Structure 1
Amino acid sequence: MIREGSDQNEWRYVNSEWNPADDASRSKQSERWRTGPGFLLKEECFWPAEPAHMSNSVEGLEVRREIGPKRAQVCQTISFRVGLDCIQTGWHKIIHHYSKWIRLLRAVAQRMTYEVEIASLEKGSTIRVSSSLRKLKPILRNGLLCVGGRLSLANIAPSERNPIILPYKGHLTDIVIQYYHERSNHMGIMYVLGLMREKFWVVKGNAAVRRVLGKCIKCRRVHGRVIEQQMADLPPDRMESGKPPFYRTGVDLFGPFFVKRGRAQIKHWGVIFTCLNMRAIHWK
């Protein structure tokens, strides 16, 4: 709209010091918001000079184009460049290796964190001693990094024998934990962790689940700290010094209690006398 209603030669540079639009964004009270910058009242030779690095060409400016053949051509160009980068970096083979997008996401998340360990297992060698996964004895199953262990002969599902390893931090790890948390109707840390380990093994799982559940808005509302009522100041009767016990006394009557005497039942009441100063109690 601005480009159609004006000419390119009419556009001029205004620095931040003289720009009245900056006053509104910075909550400044200024009259030039209504009148404009003061240099407009002067001759054009006194206007701010345009920086040398700026040009009048509109090429390279961010312009939102309408959906059409040109935009489709730009998208095709971007897709081609992304595909070329994938081929050059080796990701092209990874993307076309998996037939399901969820497996692709898991593989990408693993390779972003455990690229060295996966490369070692693909070569048939053992992972390095300093790796955080060494105690899990990881293996590769369908291209995914899984827990090894000693349950290969157990009569359980393969996903339980060799759960998929997920890193401690990562967006995929967070959304998987959030999924099981909502699936279990917002249960606690250990319950969510037990559900996840039927398919996934999160490194530092206890801390990871605690971190994600701590951000759950619904749980924070339900398990939030209850507001405590602030007690009023003590009355003067309870703060007198040098007075004997029961000088100021509170009385409470409770009952009745039915006491059997022979074949009859008699009502009895209890009376409590409390000293307001030292909190001594006398009961009858």
Structure 2
Amino acid sequence: MNSWRNWLADLHKLEEFHIPRRLAPVEFGKILTVQLHHFSDASCEAYGVASYIRVIDVIDEKLCTLALAKSRLAPAKTQTIPRLELTAAVLATKMADILRQELQLEIDESTFWTDSEIVLRCIKNEDKRFHTFVANRVGLIHSQTIPSQWKYISSVQNPEDDASRGLSADELLSCRRWQNGPDLLWSDSTCWPDQPNFNGGLLDDEKEIKKDVKVYRVSEQTDSLVDRFLERCSSWYKLKKSIAWVLRLRCILLRKIRNEDPLPNNSLTVAELHMAEEEIVKVIQRQTFSKELSDFKAKQEMSKETGRKGITGVRILQKAPSRPEAQRMADLRSDRITPGKPPFTCVGVDCFGPFMIKRGRSRVKRCGYIFTCLTIRAIHVEKLDSMNTDSFINALKRFESRRGKPEKIRSNNGTNFTSAEKELS
């Protein structure tokens, strides 16, 4: 409460705070260079940017004044100070773009100052990869600036430190550097603070750096063309067709190499499908009986194990003959097939909707009941205003007065149907 009262008491003092509207006084000489300097800073409570315009005339006189300043409260979700500093740096690039568009001056140079070495290392980084939060913001900074524009300044010299940490009204009125910039802008660029050496780059244990993927083992899996098609094709015919097209392509290429007449461009033939089937069988035989085929080619006697393998396969085929399957369905109820009775003797009922209809200037919901004759599938539709029991009873009475009283009614046992049954019985 005391802080609020102090802030309220200082509020009227801000009337004494003045910022000159003219960037350079009339007596200032001919402007030679116009520069923009953006200072960013962040704390646990807020972050912000202060942008100053620095002009130099032909006799090397310098003038600095505040051009634009913005501050933001830190997010409710706690963020680390380096992340807030990086967010402030992104805000600095946006403010630089705004000033370039709004100022009717030709800006010769833009410089960005921050007191965070971690932010500068991230911006000047060329070999590390960051996590999403940092990567997106560093990419935005790189899209609007170049790393050489970013410089380091100590917290003592940074004017934006006043905004991120806050000043009272009296401190703001007496703070000269907030209005006119830090002392370094009034001095020659040769007197500016020395820049740290970032050749070492970022440390590997930084939390924002993505860990490099390390490969300890590489295995190569060589699958035949038939194996790949086996994974993709869902039926034997599709597999044969795919292999047949591959074989035709091979034949076309061979004819082209041998300068022979090209094949006619037509659909696959039965002979090509049969050839594809033989090739598939050969490939599977080479995979399954590779040792036996090598022994056969070398004219060696086959082992007993090979004979057992073939006989076992034959027996399996004999024991598991294919049987055709027949579709089975339940018998129809008697009220579905009894002839000689009028329509709607046995009915099924259900509700559908709702639908939006226009009544006057308003729109209301309406539903419907559908009565279906179980024998000839004729239908009767009744409109209802709601889905309650009374609406169904009224709809049923209208149906009976037009179609006659049914002997049997089938439904899905909805609450409106079961309640109507109890009320009518």
Q: TM-score, normalised on structure 1?
A: 0.28
By relative contact order (CA 8 Å, sep 6+), the higher-ranking structure is 2
Question: Which protein is richer in strand relative to its size?
Answer: 2
